[in-house]
Amino acid sequence: MNHTYSQSPVKTLGVQLSPAALPALAYYSNILSIVTAVPAIASGIVQLAPVIQRDGFSSKKAQTGVMHALISDLTVFAAVYNWWSRRDTAGFLPSTTNAVVSAAVVPTVFFAAFLGGQLTYQFGMGIGGGSSSTKKKQ
């Protein structure tokens, strides 16, 4: 089979996407992440507040929840910065600073997701409450 690789549009699952469209796609995906972060933050506050009122910051559950919230908020601030700084740029092209912020946020998001998984599966928080043995003991 003869494959010819060129700078043709990206084609996956029968959808062609020009590489020139990627900055705009990334920009609008970033806006979507900011919009969906709002209800996530609100529900996190609603779920974490009673834990802090009951335990203070002494429990591992409260500490994990606060750490998850702070790290997640940091990633949202980074997304807002990237949106704000790119909104008037032709073609929504990212600057070097935008690329550095985005690269730094990737491992941060992974760590926040790990903490969110702990909150759900170890401590029974979140929608559905996970399958925590800790929740049954509390």
Task: List, for residues 42-63, the tens digit of each pLDDT value.
Answer: 999 999 999 999 999 999 999 9
- pLDDT over threshold 80, residue 2: no
Closest CA to 84 of 24, 21, 22, 27: 27
pLDDT tens, position by position, 97-132: 999 999 999 999 999 999 999 999 999 998 765 555
- pLDDT over threshold 60, residue 37: yes
Give the per-residue pLDDT at 129: 58
Q: Which of the pair, 8 or 50, is modelled with greater confidence?
A: 50
* Count of beta carbons in the 10 Å neighbourhood of residue 62: 18
Secondary structure (3-state) at 17: strand
Give the pTM.
Answer: 0.80
Q: Which of the pair, 15 or 81, is modelled with greater confidence?
A: 81
